[in-house]
Amino acid sequence: MERLSGTSILPDTFEGTRDDIVSQMGLIWGQIKAPLIVPLLQLAVVLCLIMSLMLFIERVYMGIVIVLVKLFGQKPEKRYKWEPIRDDVELGNLAYPMVLVQIPMYNEREVYQLSIGAACGLSWPSDRIIVQVLDDSTDPTIKDLVELECQRWASKGINIKYEIRDNRNGYKAGALKEGMKRSYVKDCDYVAIFDADFQPEPDFLWRTIPFLVHNSELGLVQARWKFVNSDECLMTRMQEMSLDYHFTVEQEVGSSTYAFFGFNGTAGVWRIAALNEAGGWKDRTTVEDMDLAVRASLKGWKFVYLSNLKVKNELPSTLKAYRYQQHRWSCGPANLFRKMVMEIIKNKKVTTWKKVHVIYSFFFVRKIVAHIITFIFYCIVLPATVIVPEVQVPKWGAVYIPSIITLLNAVGTPRSLHLIVFWILFENVMSLHRTKATIIGLLETSRVNEWVVTEKLGDALKGKASKTPKKPRFKIGERLHLLELGVGVYLFFCGCYDVLFGKNHFFIYLFVQAIAFFIMGFGYVGTFVPNS
């Protein structure tokens, strides 16, 4: 009976099969490792080190410039002529330029009252300002609410126009373009643009318009964003760190050196003549604001950034909304670079140095290299060297350069310096989607023109908090993100391999980064609104 026992035969069979498979895989790995894997990984390491140096030099350069600007640079009011617009007895209110204020909207249930109220509250002669609400909402209830809000302000004497379209062609760019076609816009000299969650202070126009009135070469005045919900959750704190660097360093450096930077799409004032000369709004990419800024710059127009003028707005606090936003912000610039690189090279109105700045620094390093190197190097190539010890990454490339880049980034948000490790892990995870979106933009494949409006919750959470808590209901696809989970498994495997066989001692980083991918892969980041 012992000889015929299945309990002894079955395990031996499986064990033999398992040993055969493992030995075959080991044999295949040994045959392809030296002639194929090692050279390819070595090439990947070299390319990644080159891109790391490019990003490092760019960050150090901007760091040096911003220090010089803060120590010796003149404020915008000194670099350009600025004086308040004064009353004229003879002209009366005609001494003030006509200003159009545009508010593009799309199903903005939670924030429409705040944005319309803030725009209608701007301090400017009432007969020299037009508030234009561009409502693309598909929800009839929201449309009715927005229209009623506009009527309420109109009854108070505000010159407010409620405009709707029969379609959403061109999304935000299409709405803004359609709004500029209205007959009353011909009387306007400048246009201020605010997204639906932005709340400018009453003196916004008094502080921006004089730059355009007294400096005919200026086409754009851009204000800084101030985040009202940055402390809502850890994810919004991470966003604040990234965006504060953009506003504290990138925008300031561009304004101070080349009088060029990317328009942020909101909280800015355009000279309508500059907007029209650049060709108006185009919907060929998902970054219509950047597209307009580059085209206007190639026409010779200059931009000024006001770091001390802040406009309140809201950060996306749900992972779903943030992922869509980052896809648009990463895919759009890459696609715009593809479409405009030859146009920039052939342009004869700007200097060679400005062309180099736009092509190399503004587009290639910041919008393409920065995303790709973060994911490919630190999440794919560096972990792979644990499994292939024949390939070594120098310590300056694996440790010193990323550490310096990280510290330079922390300058933008000193209050969050203690969260720098969480920021690194968070940015590495998000670089997966930014890299994917960048490649989509460069290759112009599917989803290249995908536009999903970033959901802002406004007071939604406060309202829900006052009600009886409901058990969150969600679809598996909304909370499980397979890409993050897949990369997390890869990093965890590399970490285990390093513990057992490796000599690099990368396993601490690999395990911690794997945990970050798992946390985001299971959707446990940001806020969660039941039934949202």
Catalytic residues: 136, 289
What's the rounded Cα separation, in Å, for the pair 286 and 290?
9
Stretch (H or E) spanning 162: strand 160-164
Task: Enter the tokens of residue 29.
Answer: 């790995």
What's the rounded Cα separation, in Å, for the pair 357 and 58?
11
What's the rounded Cα separation, in Å, for the pair 130 and 126?
8
What's the rounded Cα separation, in Å, for the pair 368 and 346?
22
What are the angstrom distances between the C-alpha of 139 and each of 105, 135, 143, 145?
12, 10, 6, 10
Crossing angle of the two packed helices 507-521 and 482-500, in degrees rounded to 10? 160
Of 227, 313, 244, 304, residue with least CA distance to 270: 304
User: Are 528 and 472 in contact, with CB atoms under 8 Å apart?
Assistant: yes
AA identity, residue 144: D
What's the rounded Cα separation, in Å, for the pair 120 and 153?
7
Of 491, 474, 483, 490, residue with least CA distance to 526: 474
User: Are 288 and 265 in contact, with CB atoms under 8 Å apart?
Assistant: yes
Backbone angles phi and psi of 99, in degrees to 5: -120, 130
Stretch (H or E) spanning 310: strand 302-313
DSSP string covering 225-283: EEETTTTSSHHHHHHHHHHHHIIIIIHHHHHHHTS-----SSSEEEEHHHHHHTT----
Of 263, 144, 284, 295, residue with least CA distance to 193: 263
AA identity, residue 283: D
DSSP string covering 318-349: BHHHHHHHHHHHHHHHHHHHHHHHHHHHH--S
CA 226 to chain centre: 15
